[in-house]
Amino acid sequence: MTDIIIDSEEVRVQLGRQSISFPRIPLPPAFLEWQATARQHMFERMTEAGAQAIRRQPAHLPVLATFGQGPFPANLATRGMGLLPAPAYLEEFTRRFEAVLSEAEGRPWSESLPERVRVVKEFYDDVTHFDSWLLGGLEIFEGRTAENLQRNPLASLLYTGEPPAYPSYQFDGVVQFVEAGDPHFRFLLAARELFARDAFHIHQIRYPYGYLFHLAAVRDKTPYPRRDHGAGVEDRE
Ligand SMILES: Cc1cc2nc3c(=O)[nH]c(=O)nc-3n(C[C@H](O)[C@H](O)[C@H](O)COP(=O)(O)O)c2cc1C
């Protein structure tokens, strides 16, 4: 595994003999709002029509590019990668999610849906709950993505949302592994477990570790009506 040093201002990575550093940058406010709104719509739908009504959730499922060897070094995989609580809320929301999960235990899963939706909705209800410097996800399969990240923690994410706006963002960054015992891993696991047995998830029994994605660059890829000839992204309205 490569060495990563993260402080409040920058991320430094030792890649073999090469040392690379990036100033950390925050997630765009429009991205945070889109993520919150997409989740709110999902929870409303679940409340109205049950968890089986959830067919798609593109806001939560970006494509993660990692880099290996050979003529086609990019490896692409769809990944659940989402928002994490700001440090002041991390412990609180983790505990609240875990409390709802333990109350749900031993009862019919669908019976606990209202409480599960309520607690997660409270997290997404307020953008000040979010850590605007981080995204997080869980590893399941320990395939090429995991192998690449162990050698090279530099990665890119592409998020694409639904019409008519099609919000779309590329984030370049550095992936840090987190394991059981880490407060972020605990939150990621509790958040996943809240809906683990619902129809829109394939139930998994083990997550060997999680990922924290520290941002180094943001590129807004949202399409817009191009009205002239010759100009580039500056056309954006
Ligand atoms: C909708 C969807 C969501 C997925 N979410 C995850 C996830 O959160 N974690 C994970 O490890 N794999 C997830 N996968 C599986 C990965 O896309 C991929 O199959 C896995 O990482 C193995 O590919 P790799 O060898 O390139 O890593 C998901 C796949 C799909 C289609």
Maximum Cα–Cα distance across the chain: 63
Whether residue 237 is contained in a domain is answered as no
Question: For position 159, what pLDDT does the model report?
Answer: 98
Q: Give the pLDDT confidence score for residue 232 in this predicted structure.
A: 60
Mean pLDDT of 174-183: 97
Q: Which residues contact 56 (CB under 8 A, 6 or more apart)?
A: 162
Residue 156 in contact with ligand 1 by CB distance below 6 A = no
Q: Does 230 have pLDDT greater than 70? A: no
Within a domain: residue 60? yes
Structural domain includes residue 198: yes
With 0.85 as the threshold, say if the pTM is over it.
yes
Task: Decide if 233 is inside a domain.
Answer: no
Q: Is residue 228 part of a domain?
A: no
- Residue 88 included in any domain: yes
The yes-or-no verdict on residue 233 having pLDDT over 70 is no
Q: Does 138 contact ligand 1 (Cβ within 6 A)?
A: yes
Distance (Å, whole) CA 4 – CA 176: 7
Among candidate residues 175, 169, 199, the one with its CA nearest the CA of residue 38: 169
The two tokens of residue 40 are: 């709110």
Q: What number does the ligand 1 atom closest to the CA of 140 have?
A: 11
pLDDT of amino acid 216: 96
Q: How crowded is residue 33: how many other Cβ atoms within 10 Å of its Cβ?
A: 12
Ligand 1 in reach of 4 Cβ (< 6 A): no
Instruction: Give the span between the Cα atoms of 82 and 235, in whole angstroms.
Output: 30
Mean pLDDT score of the chain: 92
Matching residue, tokens 């409270």 = 122
How many structural domains is the chain composed of? 1
Q: Provide the CATH number for the domain around residue 67.
A: 2.30.110.10
Residue nearest to atom 26 of ligand 1 (CA): 144
Q: Does ligand 1 have an atom closer than 6 angstroms to the CB of 58?
A: no
Is the minimum distance from the CB of 82 to ligand 1 under 6 angstroms? no
Q: How confident is the model at residue 140 (pLDDT cuts 50, 70, 90)?
A: very high
Lowest-confidence region among 13-17, 23-27, 41-45, 94-98: 41-45
pLDDT of amino acid 52: 78
Residue nearest to atom 31 of ligand 1 (CA): 78
Q: Which atom of ligand 1 is nearest to the CA of 139?
A: 11
The contacts of residue 103 (CB under 8 Å, 6+ apart) are 112, 115
Is 234 among the domain residues? no
Task: Count CB-CB contacts under 10 A for residue 20.
Answer: 13
CB of residue 144 inside a 6 A radius of ligand 1: yes
**Which structural domain range is residue 212 located in?**
3-222
Q: Which of 60, 63, 66, 78 to mutate to test the pocket of ligand 1 (most atoms within 8 A of CB)?
A: 78
